[in-house]
Copies of this chain bind each other. A is one copy, B any other.
Amino acid sequence: MQSYFRNFVSDMEKTLLPICLFLCIEVCLVSAVFLQKVNVWPMPNYLSNGDKTLYMGNDFELETAGSKFADASGILKDGFLRVMDIVKLDHVIDDSHSTLNESALLKGLKVVIQSPNNELQYGVDESYKLTVPGPGYAHIEAPTVYGALHGLQTFSQLCHFNFKTRVIEVNLVPWTIIDMPRFPYRGLLIDTARHYLPLPVIKNVIDSMTYAKLNVLHWHIVDTQSFPLEIPSYPKLWKGAYSASERYTFADAAEIVSYAERRGVNVLAEIDVPGHAASWGFGYPSLWPSANCTQPLDVSNEFTFKVIDGILSEFKKIFKFRFVHLGGDEVDTGCWESTPHVQRWLAEHKMNGSEAYEYFVLKAQKIALSHGYEIVNWEETFNNFGDKLSPKTVVQNWLEIGVAERAVAAGFRCIVSNQDKWYLNYVHSTWDQVYSNEPLTNITNPKLQALVIGGEVCSWGEFIDGSDIQQTIWPRAAAAAERLWTSYDKLAKDPRQVTERLAHFSSEPKSILKEKGSFGHVMTNWLRT
């Protein structure tokens, strides 16, 4: 690693020497080492740049003239303001001492969006073209507002505070960036069942996802440990919350979805049935096989499915994503087989535990389909029931090797989240392992490749709460985000090639992304003048 940096510094010194002599500024050498690199994360799919520098005026503005898109909802304007806040966050902008050249002024950003439809949905066109041709205006063109939001994020990464002039600069002009995601599903799982996460923490996570162009928040809402969400038609369910205040009202959930959607992030809601659901019974004990054996949910009780139907009926009002997640993992049917009234029901229906598990999963899928949802299930449902699952199932891989291969071979869509690499709560997984995890491993047929709709990094909540979730997610989630966004041929074959760019991304004004100690000091030693 050290020799990589040393070579890099040596190369840069050669390149920069003429410029430095010309400008003759104390801070030039070290600044320029940063600024003369392409520091965009995730790496765009096409990129060209020059060597000129522009600076951003104090009244840098957004223009949407010429767009069919009217931005009546303010999605673009809000996105622009957020990005400008981030760009200006770290230092006081003050050009009063500068002698800035009017001919190098960047006045604003012109955005043209083709579609006035701003419905966010799975598969929405997220592409964009960003150009900074020279003085005057930068340009973003995009089919949808969500592509334009990605373009804004990329633009923000071209902007740097100049310590000499005290203004924001864009270096390496002219820029042309043409960009689109490799996978339509780029997810992050949060878990509010093992620890309650306050609303502002979830919003903060959503904001940080947008910096890395992740686009699905998989909200593992409830589990064995707690049921924090209000379900209006079953008002006792949130008696399973940890406490009176560790709860989300239905309006809170709607607010999270709305907040995410305005930022181009879909919310995938999960109820994990029948195995991870003991908390449901605090409000409705008949959902438990018995008070002493509380999960899986009682398969013999029609009320169980009535409640699932009720929950999905409420979900449909606020969770507008095409998919709902029904869990289905880690089911131990021991409680069914040892509880007398469930035993009797199994006997009457001529089922053993495994068959009842299948009965439950398929029945829950039908309920979801009846509400217009397609389904995501954890891989155990596929491993056990294969093509008995609805063809509208997406298999989420986490446990075994080769599941994605087998699932797409069987015609199912798949999301890759293999725990050995993409479980962020396993804090021993290093960023380069995360980066190297390839969703299409051993899948070569393009038709089958297309069934892998994407991947997801998971931040399970057993040992994570609002105080450290961001530090657990970042910067490693960014490594996965590049794997999921950038075309395969543009990805680094050796992660060490992107260390410096990831470090730059992690130490952006988005200070929450800054990994404790390590990155900062790697950068620090060789930058000391």
Contact = CB atoms under 8 A, between A and B. Distances in A.
Of A92, A196, A200, A239, most B-chain CB atoms within 10 Å: A92
Contacts of A466: 511-512, 514
Contacts of A246: 520, 524
Interface stretch (A8-16, A29-37, A135-143): A29-37
A243 to B, nearest CB: 4
Interface residues of A, number: 57
Given A514-B465, A516-B468, A200 B89 contact: yes
A80 to B, nearest CB: 19
Nearest to A525: B242
Interface stretch (A176-184, A249-257, A386-394, A416-424): A249-257
Given A249-B166, A509-B198, A244 B30 contact: yes
Contacts of A444: none
Number of copies: 2
A75 to B, nearest CB: 20
A514 B245 contact: no
A528 interface: yes
B242 A524 contact: yes
Interface in A454-473: 463, 465-468, 470-471
A195 interface: yes
A133 interface: no
Contacts of A30: 243-244
11 contacts: A31-B245, A33-B244, A89-B200, A91-B249, A163-B245, A198-B511, A242-B524, A243-B527, A246-B520, A465-B520, A467-B515
A504 to B, nearest CB: 9
B201 A511 contact: yes
A431 interface: no
Interface in A186-201: 195-196, 198-201
Given A511-B466, A515-B467, A520-B196, A251 B166 contact: yes
Contacts of A529: 239, 282
Contact of A242 (B252, B468, B527): B527
